[in-house]
A and B are shown apart, each in its own frame.
Chain A
């Protein structure tokens, strides 16, 4: 899993029907110290995350294992909203 920050939303009307009702968010992977990296991922939200929150993103086929994502064509899912990251 990676830590990411939510940068924005994606609106798509014409999409696979199994994606209907799913919220799509643009997230940018960040380092454990909170600094930004480059690039972005479009991820499906499963927890109700909001703009600029730090979240946990699962990538690959595991993204389909999140609750409500069975057989949904996704390869990135937001599975948690991070409260704290404590690195020694």
Chain B
């Protein structure tokens, strides 16, 4: 799992049926000092996150576990919202 900042949204009308109704967000991964690190990715939202929020997300097959896990093709899912930056102790 890694920390990330939600920086945007993606709209895709034509998509795999199993992704119907899912919110797609652009996330920028952060390092431990909450500075940008690496390239932005597209993630599915499972917690109701919005643009500008600090979140954590998981990659790989586990990313499909918050949903119908044998049925949701995602390798990148937002699984939690960090209450505030002060809650990230370094």
Instruction: Name A residues whose Cβ lies closer than 8 Å to a Cβ of B.
Output: 1-3, 31-32, 37, 46-49, 56, 58-67, 69, 77, 79-88
Cβ-defined contact, B8 with A83, below 8 A: no
Instruction: Quote the shortest CB–CB distance from A38 to chain B (angstroms).
Output: 12
Partner of B73, one of A3, A31, A58, A86: A58
Name the residue of chain A whose CB is nearest to the CB of B6: A88
| B12–A80 CB distance below 8 A | yes
Known: A3-B42, A60-B60. A66 touches B73 (CB 8 A): yes
Residue from the list A56, A69, A86 in contact with B15, Cβ < 8 A: A56
Please count how many residues in chain B sit with their CB below 8 Å of the partner chain's CB atoms.
35
Q: Is the CB of A83 within 8 A of B13?
A: yes
A84-B73 contact in complex given A32-B26, A65-B64, C-beta closer than 8 Å:
no
On chain B, the residues within 8 Å of A59 by CB distance are 75
Task: Give Cα distance in the complex from A47 to B42, angstroms.
Answer: 18
Q: Flag whether B66 is at the interface (Cβ < 8 A).
A: no
Residue on B with the closest CB to A3?
B42
CB-based nearest A residue for B7:
A87
Interface membership of chain B positions 38-75, coded 1 if the CB is closer than 8 angstroms to chain A and 0 otherwise = 01111110000001100000001101100001111111
Report Cα–Cα, A64/B74, bound state, in Å: 10
B9 within 8 A of A: yes
Bound complex: CA A16 to CA B30 (Å): 40
- For B3, the chain A residues whose CB sits under 8 A away are none
| A66–B18 touching, CB < 8 Å | yes
